[in-house]
Structure 1
Amino acid sequence: MDGDDSESTVMVVDDTAASRYALGAVLSRAGHSVIPVASAGEALVELDVRLRAGGLPDVALVDVGLPDMNGFELCRRLKAQPPTAALPVVHFSAVSAGPAYRCRGLDAGGEAYLAVPAEPEEIQAVVRAAVRGARIRTGAETLVRRLTLLSETIAAVQTARSLRELAHAAAEGTARLTGSPAAVFVLGEDGELYRGLSRSRARAALPDPGAHETVARLIRHATAGRTGVRHTVVPAPLWPAGFFRPGASDDAHLVLAPAQDGRAPVCLATPAHADRGAAPNTDALVARLARATALAAEPLLMYQAERHVALTLQHSFLPQQLPEMPGIDVVVRYVPASRQTEIGGDFYAALRTADGVLTAVGDVVGHSLDAATVMVEIRHALRAYCVEDPDPGVLAARLDQMLQHYHPDATATVCLTLVDPAGGRVRIANAGHIPPLLVPDTGTAEYAEVAGPLLGLGLDRPPPAELTLARSHRLLMVTDGLIETRGTDLAVSLEQLRAAATAAPPGTAALCDTLLDCFGRDREDDIALLALRLG
C-alpha cells in the first residue's frame, strides 16, 4: 500500500461477466491492477491465497447482489476477521434501492457505495478515496503501534540494572522497530565494550573479542568531536562479520548517540540492507531510542565508576596474603559481588597482639562507596584499639562507640576471635554476625554458641564466649554473602554451609576453596572468608 492511489490493486467481485469486464476496463485505464472474481466464495479463496503470499488488494468493489452470499454479508465477514478487517470495501449495485442500500453497506462496514452504471471519473474517484482513507488509517495505526513499542523499550532500558541488561533491552527494541537483527554497544570510559543482541541473534555463536575491539575503535572514530545523534553506514569489509548473522558479513547501519557529557557513546547497529522504508519513521524512532539509551546509560556508568573506586578500596585494604602468624595457620578469601551488584563493606583482619592472634570478619550494612569507606575506618580502628587491649568483648564495645560517634546512621556486623596459639584458648565476641564454625578433620562441623547485637546500636553486650580449639579442628568465619540467597531462610542456608564444611577435605585453604566452589558463584553480595587452625 505504498504506491500512488491511482496505481492500486482492485478486486472486483461481480457475478455478471459483462459488468466485471466494464468495471475492470475503467479501472485498468486509470492505472489500477484488477482482480476479477465471480462470487463471494471465490473472493474469500482469492483473499486467503493472497494473504499467504504476503499481501491483500488495496480495495474490493463488491456487488451487493451476489448469488452465494450478498455483498453486505461478505463485507461483514471480511471486517470481522483481523487479517482482512483493514481491506476497504466499496459496494455497488445496478438495482435502484434509494438510500437503503447505502445505509446497509455502511452498517456492514463498507467505506462507500456506487450506483452503476456510473461515470468512469466517479468510479475512479471513489476507489482513490477508499484507498487513501485506508492508507491513512493503517499508517496511523502502525505509527501508534510503533510508538507504543518505542515507549515499552525505553521503559525497559530505563529500568535496566546493568549496562549489559540495558544493551540487551535496547537491542531487542531496535530489532522489533526495524524488523532485522540488531546489536547494541555501550562504550564505557574505561574502554570496556558492553554488548547486547536481539534474542533471535543471541542464540547463535558470537564474534570473538577481536571483533569487539574493532567495533570499539569504529565507535570512537565515528563519535570523536561530534555531538547529537548521527547515522552512518559502515561497509562490510570494515564491520566485523557475525554480529547480525553467524559468520556473515553485512554493511552496518549505525545510529550513534553520546551521553550528555559527550562520553560513553551508545551505538545501535542493524544490517544496512534491511528495508528501512518498510514502516514509517523507522530511522527517527531508532534515533529516539538511541538518545534514551544514552541517557539511561549515564547513571549506570557513574555506578561503574563508583564501584571501581569501592573495589579498589577493598583490594587495597584486604590483602590476599597475610603476614606470618606464629603458631597459627590463617587463610583468607575475598570475592567481590557480581558486576551487576554494588560493592558492600565486607572485611576481614588477622592481627598479632600481645595475647595471641586477633581475627575478625565483618560486614558494614549497605552497598555503596560509603559502606566500603566505613569498612576501612573499622579496620583502622580495630588495629589501633587492639594494641591497648585485644580482648574481643572490649573491642566490640569500642567499635560500637566509634560508629555511634562518627557514623550514627551506619551499622555493621562483626565476629572477633582472640586465639592463644600455645594452648588453643579462643575468646569470641559476636556482633550480629554469623557465628564461627568449628570444622573437624573428621566428624561433624558445629557452630559456636555466641551472639550479640550489631555494632552502631549502643546496646548492652554479652560477655565473650570461650572455647578450646583442638589441633584437629579448623575455625571458619564467613560473611553472609557466601550463603544468603533471596527467598531462602537463613537457617536453611546455615545448615547447607555446615554440611558442606563437614564434607570438605582437610586443610584451611581446601576448606575455603571448597565452600567458594559450592556457594560463591554470581553472588549478589561480597564474600569474605577466614579459616584458621593451630600450627
Structure 2
Amino acid sequence: MDGYTELTDTTVMVVDDVAASRYAMGAVLRRAGHRVVPVASAGEALFELDVRLHAGRLPDLALVDVGLPDMNGFELCRRVKAQPLMATLPVVHFSAAAVAPRDRCLGLDAGGEAYLTVPAEPQEIQAVVRAAVRGARRRTGTETLVQRLTLLSEAIVTVQSARCVAELADAAADGASQLTGAPAVVFVIGPEGELHRGTSRARATLALPDGSAHDAVVRLVERIAEGQTGVHSLVVPAPMWPAGFFRPGVEEDARLAVAATRQGRTPVCVATPVRRAAPAVPADDGLVARLAEATALAAEPLLMYQAERHVALTLQHSFLPQPHRLAHLPGVELAARYVPASRQAEIGGDFYAALSTDGGALTAVGDVVGHSLEAATVMVEMRHALRAYSVETSDPGVLAERLDRMLQHFHPDVTATVCLALVDPATGRTRIANAGHPPPLIVPALGGADYVRVAGPLLGLGLDRPAPTELYLTPGDRLLMVTDGLVESRGTDLAVSLEQLRKAAAEAPPGLDALCDTLLGCFGRDREDDIAMLALRLE
C-alpha cells in the first residue's frame, strides 16, 4: 500500500486538443491523487516542458493524445525523447480512433511506454499511469546510482593520487560536493591534533570561519571518533556546528561522515550541509561515508611521510651549517644554499661541507641516493665521517675512497654521489675528486664559465677511482658545486640542463651570493628534489 500511495503523488501532463476529453482524463487522475497539467496542443506541451525543465519541475508522466492537430502524438514523443534532459520522461499514448495493432506499434517505436484505448475504465487508466511512473523511477534510480558510483570511484582515485595531506583534503571535499550537489568541507586530524582542511572548489573562493571555529570542529570530531573505528554518520544541529563553513555567516545543520582507520588514529570528517527543502539523497546512500573511509586510509601514509619529512629536515637543518655560519677558511670566501624539495612527500640526502685542513680549504657537495629518512640519516654520517677523515688527510681522492668503504661496510644497500675540492689559497692549486656527481663549474673573474672535466663512479660500489683532477684558480675566480636537484628536470636531457646552467652562471653578476641567488632564481623553483649549492672564491 505504501508503494501505491507513493506513486499517486505524481504530476501528469495531459495533452489533448479536445477540452471535454482533457477534463475527463484530468478528473480521473485527480481522484487518484495526481496533480494534472492540462495542455491543448503539441506546441503548447513542448513549451510547457521547456519551462518546467529550466525550473527543475518536469512532470512525472505525459499522457499524449495521438490525434493532435499541430503534430501527431508519435512525433511529439520522439521530440521529447530526443532531448537528453527529457529522455527519461515516460510517455503514454491514448486514442479513441487509432486503435489498430499498427498504431500501438507506432507508439512503442516512437519511445512511448504504453498505449491506452479510450474510453477506458478509470482503474485501467490509473494502473497504466502507476506502472509507467514506477518503471521510469526504477530506471532513473538505477542510472543515478551508476552515475554516483562513478563519481565516487573517480573521487577515490583522485584522493589516493594526492601528494600531500592538503591536496588529499581538497580532493575529498570536491568528491563529496560532486556526490551531494552541495558545498563540502573535509577535516583531517593528524596524530598530534594538527588540522588539515580541504574545501570544494566553489566554497574555496569565499572566506572561511576563523581559528576558533576550526578548534571547535577538531574537538567535536575527536569526541565523535574517540575509541571508535570505521565510519560514523550523524547530523549535527546548527547550534553545535560553527556557522560559515558551507556559506559565509550562515548557520546550518551539518551532515558528518567521520572515519577512523584505527582507534585514536587520523580521524577524517567529511561535512556537508543538511538541505531540508531538497529531496533526499537516493538510498541515503552511504557513498559519502565510503569516501570518508577511503580518505582516512589514504591520509595515514601521507601523514607518516609528513612526519618523516619533518624529522629529516630537522636533521638536515641541524647538521648543515647555515650559510651565514659557514666556517671561516683563511684565504677563501664561501657562500652556500640549501633548498628542500617542493614536493612535501620527498626527503633527500643532499649536503655540503667546508673544512679547514692542513692542505688548504676542503669543500664538498654530495647527495645520498634515495628519498627517505634513511637518506637523511646517512647524509649526516657522511658529513661526520668526512670531518673525521680530513683530520688525517686532505687528499680528495683518498677521502672519496674512505667514504666509499664506509658506505660499503655500514650501508651496503646505499649509494651516494660527492664532489670534493681541495684549494690551496696561497697558490690557487685545486685538486678535485668526483664520485658520480655533477662536475663543478669554474666562473673566471674575466668572464665565461666552464665545467671541470672530472668524473668517477658512485660511492658505495667499491670500484676503482681515477686520480683527482688538478687545476689552478686565480684571485676572483669562482668555483661552484651543486647537487643534481638544481638541474635535473623530467623530460629534459641532463646535458641540456647543464649547458643552461653554465650560460646562466657566465652571465651572473659578480660575487658569490649573487651567483647563488641568480641560479636559484633561474632553476630552483618547484623542484622535486633537494638542492644544495656551495660556491668558493679566492680572496
- TM bucket (normalised to shorter chain) is over 0.9
1:56 maps onto 2:64 in alignment:
no
User: Which residue of 2 is the match for residue 484 of structure 1?
Assistant: 488
1:453 maps onto 2:443 in alignment:
no
**What are the equivalent positions in structure 2 for 1:491-530 lying under 5 Å apart?**
491-530=495-534
User: Which residue of 1 is the match for residue 471 of structure 2?
Assistant: 467
SS at 1:74 equivalent: helix
Aligned mate of 2:101, from 86, 99, 102: 99
Distance in structure 2 (CA, Å) of the matches to 1:192 and 1:508: 40
User: Which residue of 2 is the match for residue 400 of structure 1?
Assistant: 404
* Bigger Cα displacement from structure 2, 395-404 vs 357-366: 395-404
Superposition deviation, residue 174 in structure 1 = 0.5
* Bigger Cα displacement from structure 2, 184-193 vs 352-361: 184-193
Superposition deviation, residue 235 in structure 1 = 5.4
Percent of aligned pairs with the same amino acid: 73
Native 8 Å contact 2:237 2:254 kept in 1:
yes
User: Which residue of 2 is the match for residue 330 of structure 1?
Assistant: 334
Distance in structure 2 (CA, Å) of the matches to 1:366 and 1:448: 26
User: Which residue of 1 is the match for residue 390 of structure 2?
Assistant: 386
The change in CA–CA distance for 1:339 and 1:220 in structure 2 (over 3 A counts) is farther
User: Which residue of 2 is the match for residue 313 of structure 1?
Assistant: 315
* Bigger Cα displacement from structure 2, 11-20 vs 453-462: 453-462
The change in CA–CA distance for 1:8 and 1:468 in structure 2 (over 3 A counts) is same
User: Which residue of 2 is the match for residue 281 of structure 1?
Assistant: 283
Superposition deviation, residue 98 in structure 1 = 4.4
SS at 1:31 equivalent: coil
Native 8 Å contact 1:437 1:448 kept in 2:
yes
User: Which residue of 2 is the match for residue 69 of structure 1?
Assistant: 71
Superposition deviation, residue 186 in structure 1 = 1.2
User: Which residue of 1 is the match for residue 226 of structure 2?
Assistant: 224
Superposition deviation, residue 11 in structure 1 = 1.2
User: Which residue of 2 is the match for residue 125 of structure 1?
Assistant: 127
Q: Deviations over 1:119-157 (max 9, x none)?
A: 112111211121122112111111111111111111211
**What are the equivalent positions in structure 2 for 1:29-40 lying under 5 Å apart?**
29-40=31-42
What amino acid is the match of 1:319? Answer: P
User: Which residue of 1 is the match for residue 260 of structure 2?
Assistant: 258
Superposition deviation, residue 301 in structure 1 = 1.6
Distance in structure 2 (CA, Å) of the matches to 1:325 and 1:167: 49
**What are the equivalent positions in structure 2 for 1:425-444 lying under 5 Å apart?**
425-440=429-444, 443-444=447-448
Native 8 Å contact 1:483 1:494 kept in 2:
yes
Superposition deviation, residue 271 in structure 1 = 2.6
Native 8 Å contact 2:66 2:98 kept in 1:
no
1:194 maps onto 2:188 in alignment:
no
Distance in structure 2 (CA, Å) of the matches to 1:370 and 1:92: 78
Superposition deviation, residue 87 in structure 1 = 1.1
Superposition deviation, residue 250 in structure 1 = 4.2
SS at 2:186 equivalent: strand
Aligned mate of 2:413, from 393, 409, 425: 409
Native 8 Å contact 1:178 1:276 kept in 2:
no
* Bigger Cα displacement from structure 2, 42-51 vs 376-385: 376-385
Distance in structure 1 (CA, Å) of the matches to 2:428 and 2:5: 91
What amino acid is the match of 1:354? Answer: D
The change in CA–CA distance for 1:459 and 1:282 in structure 2 (over 3 A counts) is same
Aligned mate of 1:4, from 3, 6, 30: 6
1:362 maps onto 2:366 in alignment:
yes
Distance in structure 1 (CA, Å) of the matches to 2:240 and 2:506: 57
SS at 1:4 equivalent: helix
Superposition deviation, residue 290 in structure 1 = 0.6
Distance in structure 2 (CA, Å) of the matches to 1:480 and 1:169: 32
SS at 2:521 equivalent: helix
Q: Deviations over 1:176-212 (max 9, x none)?
A: 1111111212112243322222122223455555654
* Bigger Cα displacement from structure 2, 312-321 vs 42-51: 312-321
What amino acid is the match of 1:329? Answer: E
Superposition deviation, residue 519 in structure 1 = 2.9
1:340 maps onto 2:323 in alignment:
no
RMSD, matched Cα: 2.6
The change in CA–CA distance for 1:432 and 1:3 in structure 2 (over 3 A counts) is farther
TM-score if structure 2 supplies the norm length? 0.91
Native 8 Å contact 1:178 1:282 kept in 2:
no
The change in CA–CA distance for 1:501 and 1:234 in structure 2 (over 3 A counts) is farther
TM-score if structure 1 supplies the norm length? 0.92
Distance in structure 2 (CA, Å) of the matches to 1:115 and 1:350: 98
What amino acid is the match of 1:454? Answer: L
What amino acid is the match of 1:120? Answer: P
SS at 1:367 equivalent: coil
Native 8 Å contact 1:186 1:193 kept in 2:
yes
Superposition deviation, residue 169 in structure 1 = 1.3
Native 8 Å contact 1:180 1:274 kept in 2:
no
What amino acid is the match of 2:490? Answer: R
Distance in structure 2 (CA, Å) of the matches to 1:106 and 1:221: 58
Distance in structure 1 (CA, Å) of the matches to 2:40 and 2:338: 81
Aligned mate of 1:111, from 110, 113, 116: 113
What amino acid is the match of 1:113? Answer: Y
Contiguous gaps of at least 5 residues in structure 1: none
Superposition deviation, residue 392 in structure 1 = 0.7
Superposition deviation, residue 440 in structure 1 = 4.2
Superposition deviation, residue 533 in structure 1 = 2.3
Distance in structure 2 (CA, Å) of the matches to 1:292 and 1:274: 27
The change in CA–CA distance for 1:495 and 1:200 in structure 2 (over 3 A counts) is same
* Bigger Cα displacement from structure 2, 495-504 vs 521-530: 495-504
Superposition deviation, residue 237 in structure 1 = 6.2
Q: Deviations over 1:65-121 (max 9, x none)?
A: 223322223222222221221111112121373433333322322222222111112
* Bigger Cα displacement from structure 2, 144-153 vs 182-191: 182-191
Contiguous gaps of at least 5 residues in structure 2: none
1:18 maps onto 2:39 in alignment:
no
SS at 1:416 equivalent: strand
